[in-house]
Amino acid sequence: MVEKDEVTTGMVAWGRRDFGNPATTSYWEIGIVLLPEWRGRGIGWRAQAMLCDYLFAHSPYPRIQAGTHPENIAEQKSLVKAGFQLEGVIRSAEFRAGRWRDGYLYSRIRGDVTVPIDG
């Protein structure tokens, strides 16, 4: 994903989703994971901002969304720095470690402010 002396630091993923009619409601959902030694060094938010630029440039879809856990402060901050906005709480989104847990849903829309990654 980010190469420094050709070192792999992690990966991003993206997939097309829709709200029922692919022709009129398609959007992207993204995810990211960095290897532990590369976290907290400014790579995560930049990678997600760059991925948004790439997806908006190479597809017509107007919306990119990302979900995260309420306890994942790093990803929440990373998404906001990458130009995402919190849309809301997805109640009982996931069964994990013995109980149903809420999720946070973020999105970035085509036309939202582009984020310079050299800042």
**Which residues lie near ligand COA (CB under 6 A)?**
10, 32-34, 39-45, 68, 72-75, 77-78, 81
Name the residue nearer to ligand COA (CB basis): 22 or 40.
40
Sign of dihedral through CA atoms 89, 90, 94, 99?
A: positive
Distance CA 26, CA 117 (A): 27
- Quick one: 81 or 110, whose CB is closer to ligand COA? 81
Q: How far apart are CA 38 and CA 117, in angstroms?
A: 17
C-beta of 52: minimal distance to ligand COA in Å?
Answer: 14
| Distance in Å, CB of 21 to ligand COA, minimum | 27
Our CB check for ligand COA shows the closer of 93 and 109 to be: 93
Place of tokens 């709200």: 19
Give the C-alpha separation, 107 to 87, whole Å: 7
